[in-house]
Amino acid sequence: MWNKNKCRLWPLIILFFAFLLSACSEQDLANIKLLAHLKKYDQASELMIERNYRQNNPIGRDQWEAFLKVDDSDQLTAIERGLLVENQKLIIEQNKQAAIRKSAINVDPLRHNLPALEQFCQQIPKGGMLHVHPYGLLSKNIVRQILTKYNPIIDPEYFITTINNLGQKLYDHEVETLKNLPHSVKFSSYNQEQQESFINFFFLPKQPPSHDFTRFDAIFTFVIWLIEDENQSAKMQMVYLDFLKTAAAQGLSYVEFTNGFPPTLATIEKLKNWAQLFFKETGIVVRWNIGQLRFLSGEQNGQLIKQWNEILLAHPSHEIVGIDLYAIERGNPALEKAQNAYGYLNGFNQQNPIHPLEMTMHAGEMGDPRNVRDAMIMGVSRVGHGVLLKNDLISLEYARNKKLGVEMNITSNYQLNVHNMNVSPHPFLEFLRLGLSVSLSTDNNGIFDTNISKECVAAVSSTDVTYAELQAMSYNSISTSFADEKTREVLTNRLRQKFTLFELGYGH
């Protein structure tokens, strides 16, 4: 009886092992093919350097896509893609469980208790913010202060015309509101209600809750009008200080701004003085990334970055640490707009391990879904947003291997229709659990009416993020920053101390 049953089982056992073996070999084959794709990305990186650093001869889109194609024998089948996705899910689950085990505080009870969550997010130690635009920082208070102090003449027609000409957008009722404001008079001539409705144009309307990028963009027509004149520096100093004081009260110790500046000694000097003043007044270490406007040509952006690199080689700066590409991503793909600058700088940086400028880029917020792939191939160590990476399996694997830094802005993504966190969890957490170096930031505190504590609230209330993962994102915001090694070390140690004290005091 015993022997007979045993004999009957043998074919089943053999079948089971045969199944295991075939499953293994399919997974192996999928991994081998994946490696062929990733190798292609590395080769493309070399080509990008060759064409933009050594030859000054940018690559056309068709040639680029043809180069990135792998051999037919390395194309992934649907089943193999499925196996890679399953493998990612496994990693996500394993890292989630590890984070739960590692968490000194259980944040589950806070997820549906807003007052308690807000208090927790206000108190949890923060590191830095790596994705912040000075022109998006203006608070209501500071807009009112600047308008009152400088008392400009307001011509509502100017805004309507400029916004139209630039392809930006206001809602019809907003155009009506503008038209009904007094023309060509000083701000102080407006009554209280008129002042209030004019100031509202510096912020996104609360309704609808999400907007097209063109509506967001219209705000900069107002900000530029308010800021850019002979008093620009004094006005911006007010804006920076107003923001940094609030940021310090929330426990931030480091902020990296992205903004456009002319490549001059005067800029270097101004940013150095500002960084000293801001540190003295708020205790926050401040650095800047040189912004390139996405709607300018690739050649113009390339020229700007080469000039910046040269001037910083001759006149080193602690304060200017990297480059970024920003403004509307839709219609302005990374390959066409960024390769001159990034391909050049990546080549230069590889040749010169000690170099003045690191690289980040707005990519994967909207527009061409290949932008994050191309940004990584161009050598960035971080991207801003990166949300669209969730739809690109191969690039997500590449990002995982590189431990790509991702500057995430949950509220911004919600308000600009990039991701609806009420419908599905924001992908920042999947990225983090896959091993990407995610950190939280705000993009534009003023325009989106947010701050780092509100981003923490958004993260905890809309996902199952753990305390250990919130901590990890704080540490990432320092470790993936472009500050020099010494500064990162000091800030990391300070953060570690703050977490120890926070955990000791939490709940008491």
Q: Which is nearer to Zn ion, 408 or 483 (CB)?
A: 408
Nearest approach, Cβ of 246 to Zn ion (angstroms)?
Answer: 19
Nearest approach, Cβ of 409 to Zn ion (angstroms)?
Answer: 7
Nearest approach, Cβ of 81 to Zn ion (angstroms)?
Answer: 31
Q: Which is nearer to Zn ion, 368 or 443 (CB)?
A: 443
293 phi and psi angles, rounded to 5 deg: -80, 130
In Å, what is the CA distance from 244 to each residue of 239, 277, 475, 494? 9, 11, 20, 18
Q: Which is nearer to Zn ion, 311 or 440 (CB)?
A: 440
Q: Which is nearer to Zn ion, 174 or 329 (CB)?
A: 329
The strand pairing partners of 293, in sequence order, are 326
Residues 227 and 202 sit within 8 Å (Cβ to Cβ) = no
Please choose, from the candidates 77, 58, 127, the residue with its C-alpha nearest in 3D space to the C-alpha of residue 489. 127
Q: Which is nearer to Zn ion, 397 or 443 (CB)?
A: 443
Residues 240 and 137 sit within 8 Å (Cβ to Cβ) = yes
Residue with tokens 């540490």: 475
Binding mask 410-449 for Zn ion (x = CB under 5 A): ---------------------------------x------
Binding mask 334-373 for Zn ion (x = CB under 5 A): ----------------------------------------
Nearest approach, Cβ of 301 to Zn ion (angstroms)?
Answer: 16
Q: Which is nearer to Zn ion, 147 or 440 (CB)?
A: 440
Nearest approach, Cβ of 285 to Zn ion (angstroms)?
Answer: 20
Per DSSP, the residues of 151-187 read --EE-HHHHHHHHHHTT----HHHHHHHHTSPSSEEG
Cis peptide before 208 (omega within 30 of 0): yes
Q: Which is nearer to Zn ion, 87 or 214 (CB)?
A: 214
The CA distance from 433 to 460, in Å, is 15
Per DSSP, the residues of 343-369 read HHHHHHHHH-SS-S-EEEEEESSSS-T
The CA distance from 28 to 38, in Å, is 15
Residue with tokens 């977490």: 499
Q: Which is nearer to Zn ion, 174 or 443 (CB)?
A: 443
The kind and range of the H/E element at 402 are helix 393-402
The CA distance from 142 to 430, in Å, is 37
Please choose, from the candidates 406, 353, 413, the residue with its C-alpha nearest in 3D space to the C-alpha of residue 380. 406
Nearest approach, Cβ of 339 to Zn ion (angstroms)?
Answer: 20
Q: Which is nearer to Zn ion, 374 or 443 (CB)?
A: 443
Q: Which is nearer to Zn ion, 242 or 443 (CB)?
A: 443
Nearest approach, Cβ of 203 to Zn ion (angstroms)?
Answer: 16
Which residue's CB comes closest to Zn ion?
443
Residues 366 and 216 sit within 8 Å (Cβ to Cβ) = no
Residues with Cβ < 8 Å from 330, sequence gap 6 or more? 213, 366, 367
Nearest approach, Cβ of 441 to Zn ion (angstroms)?
Answer: 8
Q: Which is nearer to Zn ion, 202 or 467 (CB)?
A: 202
Residues 408 and 428 sit within 8 Å (Cβ to Cβ) = yes
Token pair for 239: 């804006």
Residue with tokens 């590409």: 325
Site for Zn ion in 443-502 (CB under 5 A): 443
Please choose, from the candidates 297, 276, 295, 298, the residue with its C-alpha nearest in 3D space to the C-alpha of residue 287. 276
Q: Which is nearer to Zn ion, 17 or 295 (CB)?
A: 295
Nearest approach, Cβ of 443 to Zn ion (angstroms)?
Answer: 5
Q: Where are the alpha helices (DSSP H) in 50-134?
A: 61-68, 78-102, 114-123
Nearest approach, Cβ of 220 to Zn ion (angstroms)?
Answer: 12
Nearest approach, Cβ of 284 to Zn ion (angstroms)?
Answer: 19
Nearest approach, Cβ of 365 to Zn ion (angstroms)?
Answer: 8
Residues 178 and 170 sit within 8 Å (Cβ to Cβ) = yes
Q: How many residues bind Zn ion (CB under 5 A)?
A: 1
Residues that bind Zn ion (CB under 5 A): 443
